[in-house]
Structure 1
């Protein structure tokens, strides 16, 4: 699910809407069913699900998408299926059925493929020919406006996943060595700390805050952390109180997204959970739900039981709007900190 709290795109036709979808999602969908939801005349978000595999029921994906629209209080939606008719039609029919039961108006239902689109609702061959209506997204004013506003649509979801993939080769070897040095440095930091004080990690929270502020300053200047600084920040964030202190200061700005993308990609496998979740949270707050999702997928693949990842994954699946989290997480609130810091 992606919020559309970004530069507005004027959509005046099915072709315009099809051109807008990749910028609403962040990538060009394929083998997908997409819902573009509206309140009044304003597009409020887009939701996507994979087309069910051949021979598989479409109802579960349809119920999920309808539930997303209900939680977002959508009033109407256009359904767009990407792929061959044999697979798209069943998925679109299932979604139409679920939206009807949810009292959400279906404005149109389209299938897109091979540079053409078809409407399941329009039966007038004068405007909806049986052979489909050709369209050229590169000629749309929507595409031009999105590009001018700095919005990006990656070629596919795999390209989005590649943006958070771990570094390899010499960069990985350098980070492995830097992480060993960071662990040794952490040992020196904790050596004088009494054993009974270690769970609170007070000795770590201050250095983590200092490292985080310095890293953000570099990110704002468009500079990259050194291997040692990236490894040091990653090692410190393995302490939950230190991570939560940084989490409370994580925003949806480009600087925060760039920082956590870099640290996430460079972290050793056993250290990816905290920076990956912080990236997901920053991306979620900025409205980049797809980026948040692929970051969480990688975290949960590495650490399936990591509580922060499970919490954020639930937020995405429940389609909680980023606007509801303006002042969240309030980790300095004693009523919530005990529940979240685990």
Structure 2
């Protein structure tokens, strides 16, 4: 029996954790490695891949708290520093009065080409040891460390082949566990893998890059000097928001048909934008005031069209303009968080910070979302800002490429 069995499994269902947010504050007891392994996608909202995930454990009943996810470094020599950073970040993200009493570690990675699945935990065991040592050095003992790969799991903390055989154990069938039932009750759904979610924000296919980069070059040459000109920048702001309003109307009038998958829906949205329109809006959004005005499209009938537009613009930031993706991806993350989709919010905000690690708006939103804060205070501020300047600007029909393209 592993340490996690002793620490987490012996509690009654009224006391144990993790705790799923719902109207009834329903709680679930996780008993042993199998249920801990099954719980991970419900805790994150997606299936992590190529990931280190460390979750804080609090109190005598093992309540789950904050969590940190990091991609597994490809170079083993980087594992000690990665483990140290993960442990430090996990502790830093917890309030001083609620210091973790331990942690649970997950290493998620599929087998490489030609590699047997059972070789994955063997290869990753040194990383698990680094994480256990790093957490232990901060007085957060690791109660369980699991490897998840190819629909199976292995415990790094149990050496008993009767319960933890070398070939691993199969994960529970989807939807069959207590955690799955509690997640369904709480309205939590698993939205695919991390790679699938991140792919919705990835740059355009290579064959489309040259035309888009040319359009971005032209827009930057035209707009950036005027954005730096005190006498002209307000005109650029107004024009940018007019283009955004027109495109928002276009997306609103063309909802995604039911039954379309994410990739098909994204291709349809990509077809609604010309290179020139996308370039003008991307460059215009590099102005902080313009970006903050665009953040007002965050709820009710504006939210979903705005989210689709910001994602589409993020995909258009190609070549030398990849850093420009921070603005539209931050807006995508904000709309997702504002509408209750914390999973996609974290993915979009992480992508924004990859594009520009110095983007303050993305950093603040990412921290707030990860801390479980309520977005309503920011929504209230933006509602007041919108009311102060008279609401959404009128759509500008003359901007960009003119007629709306057919999807």
What TM-score do the two structures reach when normalised by structure 1? 0.68
Deviation per residue, 1:199-230 (Å, 9 max, x gap): xx222333444444555566566365942565
1:292 aligns with 2:310: no
1:112 aligns with 2:169: no
Residue 197 (structure 2) aligned to one of 160, 169, 178: 160
Residue 12 (structure 1) aligned to one of 1, 26, 30: 30
Residue 92 (structure 1) aligned to one of 107, 128, 132: 128
Deviation per residue, 1:260-299 (Å, 9 max, x gap): 11222245653544213323444566433233223443x3
Counterpart Cα distance in 1 of 2:327 and 2:250:
20
Deviation per residue, 1:170-225 (Å, 9 max, x gap): 977886798799889979xx7xx995413xx2223334444445555665663659
The aligned counterpart of 1:48 is: 69
Residue 60 (structure 1) aligned to one of 56, 81, 85: 81
Deviation per residue, 1:114-158 (Å, 9 max, x gap): 54333333456664456543333425334566578463443452x
Counterpart Cα distance in 2 of 1:95 and 1:284:
30
Counterpart Cα distance in 2 of 1:237 and 1:251:
20
1:68 offset after TM fit, Å?
2.1
Identify if the C-alpha distance between structure 1 residues 99 and 248 changes in structure 2 by more than 3 Å, giving closer, same or farther: farther
Counterpart Cα distance in 2 of 1:318 and 1:60:
25
Counterpart Cα distance in 1 of 2:194 and 2:249:
32
1:60 offset after TM fit, Å?
1.0
Which sits farther off after the overlay, 45-54 or 95-104?
Answer: 45-54
Superposition map of 1:238-277 within 5 A? 238-247=286-295, 256-266=306-316, 270=321, 272-277=325-330
| Contact persistence 2:329–2:348 (CA under 8 A) | no
1:92 offset after TM fit, Å?
1.8
The aligned counterpart of 1:206 is: 238
Deviation per residue, 1:68-92 (Å, 9 max, x gap): 2112216242112235233322222
Uncovered stretches (5+) of structure 2, i.e. residues with no partner: 1-18, 110-119, 257-268, 386-407
Which sits farther off after the overlay, 61-70 or 278-287?
Answer: 278-287
Which sits farther off after the overlay, 320-329 or 30-39?
Answer: 320-329
| Contact persistence 1:21–1:46 (CA under 8 A) | no
1:105 offset after TM fit, Å?
4.6
Aligned length: 316
Counterpart Cα distance in 1 of 2:228 and 2:193:
53
SS of equivalent to 1:279:
helix
Which sits farther off after the overlay, 218-227 or 260-269?
Answer: 218-227
SS of equivalent to 1:85:
helix
Counterpart Cα distance in 2 of 1:251 and 1:130:
50
Q: CA RMSD in A?
A: 4.7
Identify if the C-alpha distance between structure 1 residues 145 and 325 changes in structure 2 by more than 3 Å, giving closer, same or farther: closer
Counterpart Cα distance in 2 of 1:48 and 1:273:
20
SS of equivalent to 2:189:
coil
The aligned counterpart of 1:340 is: none
1:234 aligns with 2:282: yes
Counterpart Cα distance in 1 of 2:376 and 2:165:
47
Superposition map of 1:14-29 within 5 A? 14-29=33-48
The aligned counterpart of 1:339 is: none
Residue 151 (structure 1) aligned to one of 189, 210, 213: 189
1:197 aligns with 2:198: no
Uncovered stretches (5+) of structure 1, i.e. residues with no partner: 334-342
